[in-house]
């Protein structure tokens, strides 16, 4: 199954799938960190902790959806790239706020 998936993605004319895979990996690492006591112990306000966990969960869900759409419809998509950029910029801006 992984070989078939790799063959399907390797024929793509661009690197959109690589960006989507990196997005999922990076957001997953942040997701695990936000769920850890290491992060939770540094947050005084439980509402802030809850909001951060919800936000990273939503970003992870969107990142997975983008990757799945690339797998299902591997052709070029300007809209999908734009949504990915908005997701990256929005998540980064929210995280820095």
For 35-87, the pLDDT digits (tens) are 999 999 988 999 999 999 999 999 999 999 999 999 999 888 999 999 999 99
1 found inside a domain: no
Q: What is the DSSP string of the chain?
A: -HHHHHHHHHT-SSSHHHHHHHHHHHHHHHHHHHHSHHHHTT---HHHHHHHHHHHHHHHHHHHHHHHHHHHS-S--HHHHHHHHHHHHHHHHHHH-
**What is the predicted pLDDT for the residue at 74?**
86
Count of domains observed in the chain: 1
2 found inside a domain: no
Confidence of residue 10 (pLDDT cuts 50, 70, 90): confident
11 found inside a domain: no
**What is the predicted pLDDT for the residue at 52?**
94
The token pair that represents 45 in the structure block: 């306000």
**What is the predicted pLDDT for the residue at 72?**
92
Q: What is the domain extent for residue 32?
A: 17-96
**What is the predicted pLDDT for the residue at 75?**
86
10 found inside a domain: no
pTM for this predicted structure: 0.88
84 found inside a domain: yes
């Amino acid at each position: 199954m992984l070989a078939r998936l790799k063959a399907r993605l390797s024929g793509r004319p661009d690197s959109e799938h690589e960006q989507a895979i990196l997005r999922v990996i990076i957001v997953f690492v942040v997701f695990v960190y936000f769920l850890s006591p290491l992060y939770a112990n540094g947050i005084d306000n439980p509402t802030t902790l809850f909001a951060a966990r919800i936000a990273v969960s939503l970003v992870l869900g969107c990142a997975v959806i983008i990757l799945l759409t690339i797998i299902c419809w591997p052709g070029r998509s300007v809209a999908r790239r734009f949504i990915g950029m908005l997701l990256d910029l929005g998540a980064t801006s929210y995280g820095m706020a």
